[in-house]
Amino acid sequence: MQKMTCVLATFFLLLVSLGIAMSQQNCTDGTQGCFVVKDYWPVKTCEQACEPEVCKRGWGAWVSQDVCCSPGVAFPEGCGKPLTTCWVVENYAVKTCKKDERRCLQGYGVWPSRDTCCYGAFKQNCTVLPEATTPCFVVDTYFPARLCTSSLTLCGPAAQQAGVQSWPSLEDCCSPGGAFQEGCSLPPPTPCWVVDSYDPIRSCRKETGVAACNRGWGVYASEDVCCSPNVAFPDGCSVTPNMTLPSTSATNSTASVNMTQATDSNVKSTQGP
Ligand SMILES: *[C@@H]1O[C@H](CO)[C@@H](O)[C@H](O)[C@H]1NC(C)=O
Ligand SMILES: *[C@@H]1O[C@H](CO)[C@@H](O)[C@H](O)[C@H]1NC(C)=O
Ligand SMILES: *[C@@H]1O[C@H](CO)[C@@H](O)[C@H](O)[C@H]1NC(C)=O
Ligand SMILES: *[C@@H]1O[C@H](CO)[C@@H](O)[C@H](O)[C@H]1NC(C)=O
Ligand SMILES: CC(=O)N[C@H]1CO[C@H](CO)[C@@H](O)[C@@H]1O
């Protein structure tokens, strides 16, 4: 019986480790490559690298994701996990917090629950304000976009006494000299485009995460913008957006891309937000 359990356990372990191995892409040379620091901020993460010059450089490269992410290896406290629910201060004057998943990657002033936000920011529970019947409009975010939002809790006399500024309409809140000197700005687009890889191919990919699109850096409104020279890369993407994976060259897995320069002169080079 014990032997049976042991065999089963071994089999299970094998399946699990196989599952873990399978979830990792092999490099083109068939190995797992190595694992290196991806991000220090706001969330500490590791990622796979395949380039021999990276894996053989003798520092900052580890054999597996688990090793790279262990406490004391790449980071003193190990890899971090991005928050999935995020609470931020709604208003400092009246001491309120609100849930806002756009801010999960902001990296500061973000808490995983209402209580941690209230006690973290104000050292006491948040104020509960009576709700108004008609909404007013208040500052939503300053960064990465200047936005107003409607509120039912920040309109009443208690909020006004605490110094909260509110406007009767979105237009009033957003017009220059309203909530912001320059007026509101456009919200970060979602989905957005971000750098997919730097090397060996410079490319951008679509990102649908609302938190990633609102992180305030390295986020572009379209693939054309992301791939234009001097936006994400000094020379632009290696492959022009419309010419990705022509079916004839897809048979070579080690695709050496023979379209090094995005030569479009009419690519819109409007800066991303
Ligand atoms: C990855 O490489 C390992 C050996 O290093 C091999 O056993 C496995 O089949 C490969 N996986 C894929 C998906 O190619
Ligand atoms: C803080 O206030 C909220 C709402 O009134 C309540 O649900 C929560 O339990 C309070 N937290 C603590 C730690 O008392
Ligand atoms: C090229 O891209 C534009 C917009 O990104 C798209 O409308 C068009 O259909 C694409 N053309 C081809 C041939 O894929
Ligand atoms: C790229 O394509 C051109 C012609 O289109 C060819 O002459 C050249 O040898 C190619 N370069 C590589 C590295 O395949
Ligand atoms: C660029 C490249 O790797 N070309 C290779 C594509 O695959 C054929 C055989 O399938 C090779 O002969 C080419 O050298």
Q: Which atom of ligand 5 is nearest to the CA of 254?
A: 3
**Is there an atom of ligand 1 within 6 Å of 72 CB?**
no
**Is there an atom of ligand 1 within 6 Å of 263 CB?**
no
pTM, two decimals, is: 0.60
Instruction: Give the tens place of pLDDT for each residue, 123-172.
Output: 999 999 999 999 999 999 999 999 999 999 999 898 999 999 999 999 99
**Is there an atom of ligand 1 within 6 Å of 31 CB?**
yes
**Is there an atom of ligand 5 within 6 Å of 248 CB?**
no
The CA 117 to ligand 2 mean position distance, Å, reads: 11
The CA 112 to ligand 2 mean position distance, Å, reads: 15
Q: Whose CA is nearest to atom 10 of ligand 2?
A: 125
**Is there an atom of ligand 1 within 6 Å of 24 CB?**
no
The CA 262 to ligand 3 mean position distance, Å, reads: 15
Q: What is the pLDDT of residue 3?
A: 53
Instruction: Give the tens place of pLDDT for each residue, 37-49.
Output: 998 888 899 999 9
Q: Whose CA is nearest to atom 2 of ligand 2?
A: 125
The CA 29 to ligand 1 mean position distance, Å, reads: 10
Q: How is the chain split into domains, by residue range?
A: 31-81, 83-128, 129-185, 188-243
Instruction: Give the tens place of pLDDT for each residue, 214-269.
Output: 988 899 999 999 999 999 999 999 976 555 444 444 443 433 333 333 333 333 33
For the chain, the three-class secondary structure string (H helix, E strand, C coil) is CHHHHHHHHHHHHHHHHHHHHHCCCCCCCCCCCEEEEEECCCCCEEEEECCHHHHCCCCCCECCHHHHHCECCCECCCCCCCCCCCEEEEECCCCEEEECHHHCCCCCCCECCHHHHHHHHHCCCCCCCCCCCCCEEEEEECCCCCEEEEECCCCCHHHHHCCCCCECCHHHHHCCCCCCCCCCCCCCCCCEEEEEECCCCCEEEEECCHHHHCCCCCCECCHHHHHCECCCECCCCCCCHHHCCCHHHHHCCCCCCCCCCCCCCCCCCCCCC
**Is there an atom of ligand 1 within 6 Å of 25 CB?**
no
Average pLDDT, the chain: 82
